[in-house]
Structure 1
Amino acid sequence: MESLVPQEILDALTDVEMPRLVSAPSFDEQIEAGGFVVPVYRTGCVVVGSGAAGLRAAVELKRRCGAVTVVSQSAWGGTSACSGSDKQTLHTANSADQGDNFRKMARAIRSGGSMDEDTAYIEAVGSARAMASLQYLGLPLPQDTLGGTLRYKTDHDETGRATSCGPRTSRLMVKVLAQEAIRLGVPFFNHTTAVRILATDGNPDRRVAGVLAVRPKSRTDENPLGLVIYRCEALVLAAGGPGELYRDSVFPNGCFGSLGLALEAGIELVNLTESQFGIGTRREGFPWNLSGTYVQAMPHIYSVDRDGREHHFLADYYRTTQELASNIFRKGYQWPFHSTRMLDFGSSLVDLAIHHEGELGRRVFMDFNRNPLPVSGDQPFSLKRLDVDVSTYLGNAGAGQELPIDRLRHMNPLAIELYRRYKIDIAKEPLEFAVNNQHMNGGIAVDIWGRTNLEGIYSVGEAAGTHGVTRPGGAALNAGQVFGTRVAEHIGASGRAASPAAGDVDALAASAIEHVVSILKPDSPVRMDAVRLEVQARMSEKAGILCTQEEIANALEGARSLNDRIGESGIGFGRDGEAGRALQWHHMALVSEAVLTALDHYVENGGGSRGARAICDPDGEALPMARTGPLSNFRFRLEKESDKHQQIVVKYTGVTFVISTRENRHLDEDEKAFFERDWPAWLTGSIYDLQMTN
């Protein structure tokens, strides 16, 4: 039976209109620093970033009477508001019919390794509260007639803890949180780019004092760069991941994230070796992940060479039509590339094949008006000849339609509507796509309250390096909500954001501005656009899903050389209005070197292939097979079990990168809470560990 959803419902879940911001407050103070007359705004806490995680932190802190301010490069322009997939996932604890409990969920979240056990449990136990509060704010998560939340299985999820509002789940999350923030009177400074953290001198007692930002509206003759200072006692870094790091990326344009800011401030980063890559449409058109029903509809996938000839290339990899079609389907809930899924004719052979077609200069498409073509010598595609897990799923979904477009329309009409909004009608024309970078699993090192190693600075969302090697799809959206709340609770308990920060920052501001001016050299031969091209090409070509120890080492040398040139000559740019963007590319160059430093350390010490990448090695233990024979060029190392139990830590000294490792934090599952014993810790606030200095 066809699923008939009225057009107005499809429109409401696809065209999600965001709330209008009120005017930003005025700057009532200014100082002379570094040759500039700079406005100063005083607040208790600054949240850098206006995505779902940052807004959660702002809303929860404001509810606790904190003086909190949001600073955003582009409100509603980041990954939360602009990225997604067919039915973008929120991963939360499920009901008992799925055999769920918080400890089991925590084990599943951390099962990929290199993740702190306490963090995984916090995300699990906090997920119910996060989901309920989003529903209270108006997030339209689907329910059955008895009030249960509808669920399905997603990446690295064998239980079925996923739910969704459709392709715009995270945008709807941003919307309801933004409406609440505006209702509560949280000040927003839009079109404002944080470029340098202000921190007091002295180790180990350094603490945050504010942040320097570039705000074009504040440009004057005495301040041509539009520099502004936000004085605060707490700072939450929530500006997402380094989306601009890769050329082949499904991130929206302009996503630079918070990692460069953190590195320059001496904040520790972890797990930078771990990212997610998968199939999606690129940012040159409409960037979107092609997981879920896009591939579960089993479209025909083919490539086109420079002469316009079509190639049914997946037939060179899979032995039968059934095996080929079933693994296209499995990309729906095995969407991220994973090295071990290249073995035994698994679903990541699809990613490998698509990547290889790109290296051959071919463009890859999926056609929803054609079923997969047969493997040579085998029978044609048939819904009656599919692997059991695939046929069972399609049977339960009622997706027995003849063509992929009809199966997709039945299972998820929103998936078709979404591309139509961007002038792409996949019901009529093939869809071009590739393997792209999609998410940074590593990031800023934080403790169980979201604290970094620099006192007063916290991190949430994709900026925080909490995810380990792999994570269930949608766990990142949940983590941002859970830790956004915990950060606000901790800042509220500390009292450091109860009122706007006092004290002058003249000397710190002058030092920060001096650094910024040393990078901004309009006439430098190291041009901003050239930095972008070099960083993105190096990361996509040498640090994508397939790499070798030699390529990584050479890429690291190239990244070091680029940063040396920037240090000597600065970054050249055109007009004053490009100053903020030039500083962001300085940050991306630093982040690139940090990622490659961690990756080089990992591989040089025998690290093997896991979630993000296959480390190709002629002496590797694992050899992918294809229908045509062994794929010897893609032989790879297997992951060492011991590497799952630790994390690689990177810290920038201002001159070089320092590498260390630490064991994952352990959670004793035999230790049980007891009400009368533990209630006083809550009543007195000792659970927040406020005396600890990071």
Structure 2
Amino acid sequence: MDASVPQNILDALTDVDMPTLPPERPAADHLDIDGLRIPVHRAGCVVIGSGAAGLRAAVELHRRGGSVAVISQSAWGGTSACSGSDKQTLHTANTSARGDDFLAMARAIRSGGAMDEDTAYVEAVGSPRMMASLQYLGLPLPQDPLGGTLRYKTDHDEAGRATSCGPRTSRLMVQVLAREAISLGIALHNQTTAARLLVEDTDAGARVQGVLTFRTRDRSGDNPYGLALFLAPVVVLAAGGPGELYRDSVYPNGCFGALGLALEAGLRLTNLTESQFGIGTRREGFPWNLSGTYVQVIPHIYSVDSEGQEHHFLADYYRSTQELASNVFRKGYQWPFHATRMLGFGSSLVDLAIWRETAAGRRVFMDFNRNPLPVPGDAPFSLERLDGDVAAYLGTAGAIQGTPIERLRHMNPLAIELYRRYKVDIASEPLEFAVNNQHMNGGIEVDTWGRTNVPGIYAVGEAAGTHGVTRPGGAALNAGQVFGTRVAEHIAASGAATRPASGQPAAVVKTALSEITALIRPGSPHDIEGVRAEIQARMSDCAGMICDPATVARAGAEARALAASIGAKGISISRSAEASRAVQWHQMALASEAVLAALDHFITAGGGSRGARAIRDPEGQALPLARTLPLDAYRFRDERETDKREQIIVQRDKGGLLVASRDIRRFDESTRAFFERDWPASLTGRIFDLDRDGGPDDTRP
């Protein structure tokens, strides 16, 4: 791409307008309970979340005859619609040149370990269908003159399976799916916050009955909190990840996810130890990931201390200007922090250096108008002196201009346009950034059809714990679309969502109401702001990309104490409109406790450094090196091979959290389908395994 692309095309890919929501359907009836008059909405399936994964599930289920309602805290306001990077990646099977090998793609998706192997194959084999259907709906994926999809390499991807519509790829996905949902007449309810999953215990076991929510428009004298019921025999959790869990976060504001909601309902969570951390601009301004061309153009990175003095701090870590510049470039496709890449003067040494500068109270900037300064005693920066892989990439891209901003304007002018939309001109001023939490790779445990351990509840997108330790960049967008479709297929095959729910499950509603009433306490020592500050500080300071056993154990005890105290004393609010936030911050306290419990379990059992986190240990086998600085304090444990074959499961129990490990599900690559033998299972629906009504194998922790 170069600057000759007309401005109107750049505008269309940057300013992605979302469709206007249709008028909401009125409540079907009301429930009078405990002095409250609560509106009741009825559907066959309620999808919680209006992002790409949730909308995919809703559209596909509606097409298969399902009665669907989508509820959203903030329509078009989640990570799918509001997050991205330089050219946000969609990772799918490579359909150009010789095509792809799905077994090889599945191996690449699960290569970091701790991922169910059958899930990886599901994502691989489902990806062409996912991509083709998005293109059918109007997603403008780039093509070559003969129809092949343009591709490039992304993080944890050596085959070049990545493609992109530009920085707003996921927003464009939401746009085309939202238009389709509206055209199909799917009920969409905005400003609707899930408060409790209504799970009823019966003689046959637990079963979901719907969702109790907060709705702004339903607040009234006889319903001061704006409570509303969405009754349905099927619920799909698609509320994204726990963005509010960390202070240092690149998530949009207000992203709470569904982990706490799931824990309260008895759902099992998995892989909560696995997240992604990487460089990006902070959420206080315009939160955005600085991967891809932002760093591949090799800007000058520096810090500023409290006195305004600049520091060329990367020169303290790398041995030569060439090594420094080449590893800044590699952050483009090695964007997430990875412990092993701190070794051998690799690219994650950049992350460690930035993290240390920020921890020391310095502000860190990228300057696109300056090339990197030289390492003292070495030659100045030159495009003629770069590592082979870096030189080859920039040469092929034609990015041989004299300054980073000129190279960026040549390779990806959309990256410049995007920040301009938010009043930041990176062509004229430096860009402040930091290492932030970006994605939860763990989540709710599901099987290959997206079923959880509670019948009738499914999970898709970032809410689902389908990823392992690492994943190729953009694989999460693929997974959400693949599993959104599979969930819809499974629900349709079950026949559970063909008509709206009937009846009034008063007992389970009464229990949920009493829990909310007990939580909201005017005289509580806890308030929303205090709880938020405590959780976010603890997670960023104690459970970020650099951890140590003692700190994690202490943080886990503190998180457990906070969750227990909130459970006993509640949270105070100053007005009824804050009730939904009080509930969400209690759920975040539970999620924080669960993440730290899983991390402490992993570390205490001898778990090592992998993916998102380096586990510091003075007896550790791995030691990062720097040109001038001693890094003995960052000696860390190696990963154990055995841990790659396990997942850590967390479930809430009356006595607290239960934590245990289970083996990953294996996939026999030698197994081959045979048409005449296997067709009857597809025709009769045996492939959906409807007789086993419970999702993942019941290996309770």
Paired letter, 2:232: C
Note the C-alpha offset of 1:525.
Answer: 1.3
Note the C-alpha offset of 1:630.
Answer: 4.2
- How does the TM-score come out when normalised to structure 2? 0.98
2:114 aligned residue = 114
For 1:43-101, what per-residue CA distance to the aligned partner results, in whole angstroms no more than 9, with x for missing partners? 10000000000000000000001000000000000000000000000000003636621
- 2:669 aligned with 1:669, yes or no? yes
Paired letter, 1:139: L
For 1:277-309, what per-residue CA distance to the aligned partner results, in whole angstroms no more than 9, with x for missing partners? 000001000000000000000000000000000
- How does the TM-score come out when normalised to structure 1? 0.99
1:605 aligned residue = 605
1:590 aligned residue = 590
| 1:254-653 map, 5 Å | 254-653=254-653
Structure 2 CA distance for partners of 1:522 and 1:332, relative to 1, 3 Å:
same
Q: Give the fraction of aligned pairs with identical amino acids, expressed as a percent.
A: 69
1:252 aligned residue = 252
Contact preservation (8 Å) 1:33, 1:513? no
Contact preservation (8 Å) 1:264, 1:654? no
For 1:359-379, what per-residue CA distance to the aligned partner results, in whole angstroms no more than 9, with x for missing partners? 110000000000000000000
Structure 2 CA distance for partners of 1:496 and 1:91, relative to 1, 3 Å:
same
Distance, in Å, in 2 between the alignment partners of 1:225 and 1:479 is 36
For 1:397-442, what per-residue CA distance to the aligned partner results, in whole angstroms no more than 9, with x for missing partners? 0000000000000000000000000000000000000000000000
For 1:467-502, what per-residue CA distance to the aligned partner results, in whole angstroms no more than 9, with x for missing partners? 000000000000000000000000000000000011
Note the C-alpha offset of 1:457.
Answer: 0.2
Distance, in Å, in 2 between the alignment partners of 1:198 and 1:116 is 29
Note the C-alpha offset of 1:654.
Answer: 4.0
Note the C-alpha offset of 1:215.
Answer: 0.4
Moved more, 650-659 or 85-94: 650-659
Distance, in Å, in 2 between the alignment partners of 1:405 and 1:164 is 21
Contact preservation (8 Å) 1:193, 1:215? yes
Distance, in Å, in 2 between the alignment partners of 1:3 and 1:123 is 36
Contact preservation (8 Å) 1:98, 1:160? no
Distance, in Å, in 2 between the alignment partners of 1:109 and 1:28 is 44
Distance, in Å, in 2 between the alignment partners of 1:32 and 1:2 is 63
Paired letter, 2:273: T
Q: Secondary structure at the match of 1:625?
A: coil
Structure 2 CA distance for partners of 1:641 and 1:99, relative to 1, 3 Å:
farther
Paired letter, 2:74: S
1:46 aligned residue = 46
Contact preservation (8 Å) 1:98, 1:159? no
Note the C-alpha offset of 1:204.
Answer: 6.4
For 1:204-251, what per-residue CA distance to the aligned partner results, in whole angstroms no more than 9, with x for missing partners? 611111110000111111110111111101000000000000000000
Contact preservation (8 Å) 1:44, 1:66? yes
Contact preservation (8 Å) 1:48, 1:71? yes
Q: Secondary structure at the match of 1:508?
A: helix
Q: Secondary structure at the match of 1:209?
A: strand
Distance, in Å, in 1 between the alignment partners of 2:479 and 2:538 is 30
Distance, in Å, in 2 between the alignment partners of 1:175 and 1:33 is 39
- 2:154 aligned with 1:162, yes or no? no
Contact preservation (8 Å) 2:374, 2:380? yes
Distance, in Å, in 1 between the alignment partners of 2:204 and 2:373 is 64
Distance, in Å, in 1 between the alignment partners of 2:199 and 2:675 is 40
Note the C-alpha offset of 1:3.
Answer: 4.0
Moved more, 508-517 or 531-540: 508-517
Distance, in Å, in 1 between the alignment partners of 2:265 and 2:301 is 46
Contact preservation (8 Å) 1:624, 1:635? yes
Paired letter, 2:30: Q
Moved more, 141-150 or 202-211: 202-211
Structure 1: runs of 5 or more not aligned = none
| 1:117-266 map, 5 Å | 117-202=117-202, 205-266=205-266
CA RMSD of aligned residues (A): 1.0
Distance, in Å, in 2 between the alignment partners of 1:75 and 1:358 is 34
1:688 aligned residue = 688
Distance, in Å, in 2 between the alignment partners of 1:142 and 1:397 is 16
Q: Secondary structure at the match of 2:160?
A: coil
Distance, in Å, in 1 between the alignment partners of 2:203 and 2:377 is 70
2:699 aligned residue = none
2:65 aligned residue = 65
Structure 2 CA distance for partners of 1:133 and 1:386, relative to 1, 3 Å:
same
Structure 2 CA distance for partners of 1:98 and 1:614, relative to 1, 3 Å:
farther
Note the C-alpha offset of 1:201.
Answer: 1.0
Q: Secondary structure at the match of 1:260?
A: helix
Q: Secondary structure at the match of 1:351?
A: helix
Contact preservation (8 Å) 1:27, 1:39? yes
Contact preservation (8 Å) 2:61, 2:488? yes
Contact preservation (8 Å) 2:2, 2:412? no
Q: Secondary structure at the match of 1:303?
A: strand
Q: Secondary structure at the match of 1:194?
A: strand
Paired letter, 1:627: R
Distance, in Å, in 1 between the alignment partners of 2:354 and 2:327 is 13
Number of equivalenced pairs: 694
Note the C-alpha offset of 1:568.
Answer: 1.5
Distance, in Å, in 2 between the alignment partners of 1:395 and 1:520 is 61
Contact preservation (8 Å) 1:267, 1:452? yes
Note the C-alpha offset of 1:35.
Answer: 3.1
Distance, in Å, in 2 between the alignment partners of 1:426 and 1:523 is 48
Distance, in Å, in 1 between the alignment partners of 2:324 and 2:99 is 32
1:660 aligned residue = 660
Distance, in Å, in 1 between the alignment partners of 2:95 and 2:509 is 52
Distance, in Å, in 1 between the alignment partners of 2:115 and 2:510 is 39
Moved more, 531-540 or 662-671: 662-671
Note the C-alpha offset of 1:520.
Answer: 1.0
Note the C-alpha offset of 1:655.
Answer: 3.7
Paired letter, 1:349: L
Structure 2 CA distance for partners of 1:646 and 1:2, relative to 1, 3 Å:
closer
Q: Secondary structure at the match of 2:201?
A: coil
Paired letter, 1:573: I
Q: Secondary structure at the match of 1:8?
A: helix
Contact preservation (8 Å) 1:34, 1:511? no
Distance, in Å, in 1 between the alignment partners of 2:374 and 2:674 is 61
Q: Secondary structure at the match of 2:327?
A: helix
Paired letter, 1:363: R
Distance, in Å, in 1 between the alignment partners of 2:535 and 2:214 is 23
Distance, in Å, in 1 between the alignment partners of 2:483 and 2:653 is 28
Moved more, 235-244 or 91-100: 91-100
Contact preservation (8 Å) 1:616, 1:637? yes
Contact preservation (8 Å) 2:96, 2:150? no
Q: Secondary structure at the match of 1:626?
A: coil
Structure 2 CA distance for partners of 1:353 and 1:68, relative to 1, 3 Å:
same
Note the C-alpha offset of 1:629.
Answer: 5.0
Paired letter, 1:475: A
Moved more, 98-107 or 434-443: 98-107
Distance, in Å, in 2 between the alignment partners of 1:349 and 1:417 is 29
Moved more, 441-450 or 510-519: 510-519
Distance, in Å, in 1 between the alignment partners of 2:60 and 2:177 is 10
